[in-house]
Structure 1
Amino acid sequence: MTSAHPAPSNTVNAPGTLAAANEEFWSNSAETIFNEPWVLDFQAKMRAFLEKNIDWLGIVNDRTSATEGAEKKMLDYACGDGFLTRVYHPFFTKCIGIDIAAGMVKKYNEAAIELGLASEKMYAVKGDFSASVLELPKAEDVASTDLSRDEFFNFDFVGVALALHHMEDPETAIVKMVERLKSGGVFLAIDLLNSEGVSESKDEEGNGGNHHHHHQGGHSHGHGHGHSHGTTATGRSGPAGHTISHDHPAFSIELVKDMFDRAGLTDVDIIYSDWKLELPFVTDPGAKLLVARGRKQ
């Protein structure tokens, strides 16, 4: 949904309630959240960062292929108003968004009109990969889409921005997203780095610029995940607090590496935001985003 939010309350959600809370809140907030000055500022800075790191992401050659008639597909998961699509659509012939919130699906489809892209070239549908079991849409839920259709597979690129911390089971969601990639496709995840990760990234900063944490080969199968339940870079209150997972309001480097490994991704690399996160709920002046890339074998 491509905005950043406060950490959750201490309420433990029953299975399915977190998804329901996100669906309701973000659908109701869709018409107003992207007009907030701090959201506009945040998106502008993040877009500049992503554009600066296009070569690092590894999709740059797709621009040439897309102009030569070969179909190149992008999946923008938890698409919100299409932030990632706005950045990366020139590299693809078709961009598809998926969001749990009907209001966000509407915003994405409005963005297609704004960008001058035909509805068959850029469109969003309602759906959810975040549950442990992927359910087919119920008969009465006419807004949902059957995500088992062929059009929702064989993507060249799948991206998810600032949504994993809203999910009950982000590891399963990543596996499901990677399943939608074709062999050689690129996966991108952007989310909040927890306080342990912030310390680690500071240690690696050196003389400025982007800060990398490479990971190739070797699979970790421990269940510690390197994830801290202590203080994160975010506050503990706010209107969206109930939409965030209590277990993972932010992510450590080790947890991200582990989730990428389990999803079968290789050539994993993680970089960190290079600007100060001036968000209404961020209390740590050193707070950062992690931007993680992997490639499907």
Structure 2
Amino acid sequence: MSLAAANKAEFNKMAAEYDLKPAFLKINAQLAEAIRDRLEWIGIDWVSEEDKPEDGKEIHLLDYACGTGVVSRALGPYVTHTLGIDISPGMVAKFNEHAQKAGLDPERIHAVEGDLCSDPPTVSSTEASSTNFDIAVVCAGFHHFNDTELATKRLAERLKPGGVLVIIDFLNPSGTQGQVPEDVKHMVKVAGFDEPTMRRLFEGAGLVDFNLWVMPEKVVLEREKDGKTTRLERTVFFARGGSRLNSYCVLP
């Protein structure tokens, strides 16, 4: 089974209970707070309370590997349109359920099933081919991807000139990829990334002004195996890079 297929199967299993697990709730709350605290650092001209609908200002967010929508909920007040994409239809259903329960307009926020890293990309939405995104974010999904170089390029291609890509994932000491536990090797490619690797990926995708910030507060991962729960502290980084203002690209 491919890495993508394994992730699709595993996250489909987790989807119904994902937002009910205390460990996931705490991690997602930490990440959401960190995202909101880094708005200025991300560098987008966000929508504010002073902006009026009649002004026509729009900020489009691509939440890739969106899960149930932690990034979309954190950035919701600052954008006008959100497209979530996830390989798991179960996660997509939960994302849309949350949006519906919140009374949000599906024309402005919804998720679809898809994989931008397949060849060709498989996404059940023409929006995913747009080059009109002001910001694309992957939160805690990058270590699951089989080809992070391709993923970075595909996401960068969907940014408008001046748009920003943000990757949030686990930090490893420089020059190492860490040890992936045996029981998750079927769905996790690497344990994390170092700064030189992330810089290479961003610059290789044609992105500029790379910057990496490390969350001071660690997150605690919980894994259950043989009836036992193990806890592992991990350091999280935010990496960002911008699309050139004069960029132009042709999507696959």
1:28-50 Cα offsets, whole Å, 9 max, x none, are 21111221101101111111122
Task: State the secondary structure of the residue aligned to 1:269.
Answer: strand
Alignment of 1:122-271 (within 5 A): 122-131=109-118, 133-136=119-122, 145-147=124-126, 152-194=130-172, 196-197=173-174, 226=175, 228-229=176-177, 231-232=178-179, 236-238=181-183, 240-245=184-189, 248-271=190-213
With over 3 angstroms needed to count, the CA separation of the structure-2 counterparts of 1:167 and 1:159, relative to structure 1, is: same
Structure with more relative contact order (C-alpha pairs < 8 Å, separation 6 or more) = 1
Please say which of residues 117-126 and 66-75 is displaced more in the overlay.
66-75
| Counterparts in 2 of 1:181 and 1:66: CA distance versus 1, 3 Å | farther
The DSSP-based 3-state class of the residue aligned with 1:118 is coil
> Normalising by the residue count of structure 1, what TM-score does the alignment of the two structures yield?
0.73
Is contact 1:182-1:296 (8 Å) kept? yes
Other structure's SS at 1:31 match: helix
- Measured against aligned partners, the alpha-carbon deviations of 1:158-202 in whole angstroms (never above 9, x if no partner) come to 1110111111101101100110000000111001111x14xxxxx
What stretches of structure 2 of length at least 5 have no aligned partner?
224-229, 245-252
- Secondary structure, counterpart of 1:275 in structure 2: coil
Q: 1:114 aligns with which of 87, 101, 111?
A: 101
Alignment of 1:20-169 (within 5 A): 20-63=5-48, 67=53, 68-131=55-118, 133-136=119-122, 145-147=124-126, 152-169=130-147
What is the letter of the counterpart of residue 166 of structure 2?
A: L
Instruction: Flag structure 1 segments of 5+ consecutive residues without an equivalent.
Output: 1-12, 137-143, 198-225
Partner of 1:293: 240
Task: For residue 135 of structure 1, report the CA deviation from its aligned partner.
Answer: 4.3
CA contact (8 A) 1:156 1:185 kept: yes
> Is the Cα contact below 8 Å between 1:19 and 1:130 reproduced in 2?
no
Q: CA RMSD in A?
A: 2.2
In the alignment, the residues of structure 2 paired with residue 107 and residue 241 of structure 1 have an alpha-carbon distance, to the nearest angstrom, of 25
Conserved? CA contact 1:155–1:182, under 8 Å: yes
Tell me the SS of whatever aligns to 2:16: coil
Q: Does structure 2 retain, via aligned residues, the 8 Å contact 1:66–1:72?
A: no
Displacement after TM superposition at 1:19 (Å)? 0.4
Q: Which region of structure 1 is more displaced relative to structure 2, 31-40 or 272-281?
A: 272-281
Query: What is the CA–CA distance in structure 2 between the aligned matches of 1:129 and 1:185, rounded to whole Å?
Result: 18
The percent of aligned pairs where both chains have the same amino acid is 32
